[in-house]
């Protein structure tokens, strides 16, 4: 095999692995409308050169059916995914895009490791990076724009390593267009530049990151949303505790899951990031998550940890190149063993679970419910079924308020977000019938109604 092709093959294999996780999750109805249907609507509109309207989001949170995606999160970078929908306008193309982002990031991880530690170490380290558990967790829940930050951060670290701080700063500043909370990560990169004696450039990046955070959260998002300034409810407990430093600290460090998540982020890299200045780049995001009262923000699931992987990786490589050769070799071996072991305990294990490849009665019931809804209609749908209708229908999230869409698909088998009450879900079927809806299908797991 040509030497240049080997890292490309490794990146392709990693991308295929992450895509396989996403497609198995899709086939088994593990991926919800929150968030995949929302991103599908945004990219679908961008691909048609239309305003990025998210009817499902606006209807659910009170922003109205014409609510713009930019009035929820400032992520104009999503417009760059339009070409994927020119090929095939289907939510699964977002799974392909996310897998490609991980593949490209793996290639950048290989370049960074090769320059620091040599070619022999670059392959196992890039493999460990590509198998990182936060990417697997992100793949199993669908797509999220946060993954776009991963190659940008790696590119910033790689350009800094190559002695091009200006190019590194440019890559970091691209984070401002990915999502408003990543402005803090860009500012963190500016702090790193200052510490590495690129003071003027670093200060400029810090100012841009802070200014970007303010403009996006206090000006742009409120201007494009009928809801106003983004809610601070998730941080209210911390804000209320601020007059008492001890109480505020307790909010930030408890419960213990926050420490377990930090351990899971550090352990695959042998805890080397603890002694690297590069780790400072990820601290703002970790801090914001720590002071939140939303468990999803500091748990192991979802996509929130993905942005920390390039930071931890680059930080660990920075330290490893300074270790004695025997310790360095041991560390490289540890990263691969840890990545493989963790894969067996995170979503990657779905790929060798026999149940993942079988059509269970519940999956068959979901398929039947999807088939019962005609094309080109407006439908309130269960969270896990919604993405399977999004390519052909206008999908609203079935929530606690009936939206009186012409078609409704209700999960009557298990509690489902956001209602999360099986009894309420079953009661909805009777309520809709009382309003004049007719029952098109009831297979014991899902009910489909129309009016």
The helix or strand, by DSSP H or E, that contains position 439, with its residue range, turns out to be: strand 438-442
Provide CB contacts within 8 A for 399, sequence distance 6+.
60, 418, 419
Distances (CA, A) of 281 to 1, 190, 217, 426: 37, 8, 21, 48
For the sheet with 438-442, list strands across it. Answer: 394-397, 378-381, 407-411, 446-450, 438-442
pLDDT in tens, 222-264: 998 866 555 566 788 888 888 888 988 898 888 899 999 999 9
Share of the chain above pLDDT 70, in %: 98
Do the Cβ atoms of 170 and 184 come closer than 8 Å? no
Q: Which two tokens stand for residue 37?
A: 């249907």
DSSP 86-147: HH--STHHHHHHHHHHHHHHHHHHHHHHHHHH-HHHHHHHHHHHHT-HHHHHHHHT---GGG
Is the pLDDT score of 22 beyond 70? Answer: yes
Do the Cβ atoms of 148 and 73 come closer than 8 Å? no
Considering the entire predicted model, what is its pTM?
0.94
How far is residue 371's CA from residue 417's CA, in Å, rounded to a whole number? 22
Question: Which position has the higher pLDDT, 344 or 318?
Answer: 318
Question: Which position has the higher pLDDT, 292 or 164?
Answer: 164
Mean pLDDT, rounded, for 303-311: 95
Q: Which two tokens stand for residue 376?
A: 């080109």
Is the pLDDT score of 431 beyond 80? Answer: yes
Is the pLDDT score of 142 beyond 60? Answer: yes
Average pLDDT, the chain: 94
As beta bridge partners, residue 410 has 447
Question: How much is the pLDDT for 232?
Answer: 63
Provide CB contacts within 8 A for 434, sequence distance 6+.
none
């Amino acid at each position: 095999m040509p030497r240049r092709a080997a890292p490309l093959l490794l990146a392709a294999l990693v991308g295929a692995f992450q895509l396989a996780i996403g497609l198995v999750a899709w086939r088994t109805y593990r991926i919800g409308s929150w968030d995949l249907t929302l991103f599908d609507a945004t990219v679908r509109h961008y691909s048609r050169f239309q305003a990025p309207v998210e009817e499902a989001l606006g209807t659910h949170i009170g922003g109205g059916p014409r609510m713009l995606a930019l009035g929820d999160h400032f992520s104009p970078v999503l417009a760059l995914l339009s070409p994927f929908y020119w090929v095939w306008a289907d939510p699964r193309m977002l799974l392909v895009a996310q897998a490609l982002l991980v593949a490209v990031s793996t290639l950048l991880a290989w370049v960074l490791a090769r320059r620091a530690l040599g070619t022999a170490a670059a392959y196992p380290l890039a493999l460990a990076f590509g198998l990182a558990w936060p990417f697997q967790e992100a793949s199993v829940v669908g797509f999220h724009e946060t993954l776009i930050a991963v190659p940008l951060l790696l590119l910033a670290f790689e350009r800094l390593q190559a002695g091009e701080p200006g190019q590194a700063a440019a890559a970091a500043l691209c984070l401002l267009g990915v999502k408003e909370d990543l402005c803090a990560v860009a500012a963190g990169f500016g702090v790193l530049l200052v510490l590495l004696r690129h003071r003027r450039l670093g200060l400029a990046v810090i100012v841009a990151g802070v200014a970007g955070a303010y403009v996006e959260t206090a000006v742009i998002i409120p201007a494009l949303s009928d809801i106003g300034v983004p809610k601070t409810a998730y941080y209210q407990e911390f804000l209320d505790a601020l007059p008492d430093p001890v109480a505020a600290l307790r909010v930030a460090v408890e419960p213990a899951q926050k420490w377990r998540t930090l351990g899971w982020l550090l352990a695959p890299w042998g805890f080397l990031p603890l002694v690297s200045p590069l780790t400072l780049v990820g601290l703002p995001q970790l801090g914001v998550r720590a002071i939140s009262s939303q468990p999803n923000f500091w748990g192991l699931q979802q996509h929130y940890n993905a942005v920390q992987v390039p930071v931890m990786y680059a930080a660990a490589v920075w330290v490893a190149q300074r270790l004695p050769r025997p310790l360095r070799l041991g560390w490289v071996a540890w990263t691969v063993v840890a990545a493989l072991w963790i894969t067996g305990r995170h979503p990657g294990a779905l790929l060798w679970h026999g149940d993942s490849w079988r059509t269970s009665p519940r999956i068959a019931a979901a398929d039947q419910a999807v088939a019962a809804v005609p094309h080109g209609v407006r439908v309130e749908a269960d969270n896990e079924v919604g993405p399977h209708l999004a390519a052909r229908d206008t999908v609203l999230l079935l929530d606690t308020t009936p939206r009186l869409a012409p078609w409704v698909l209700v999960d009557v088998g298990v509690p489902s977000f956001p209602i999360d009450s099986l009894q309420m879900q079953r009661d909805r079927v009777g309520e809709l019938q009382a309003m004049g809806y007719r029952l098109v299908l009831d297979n014991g797991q899902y009910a489909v109604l129309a009016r």
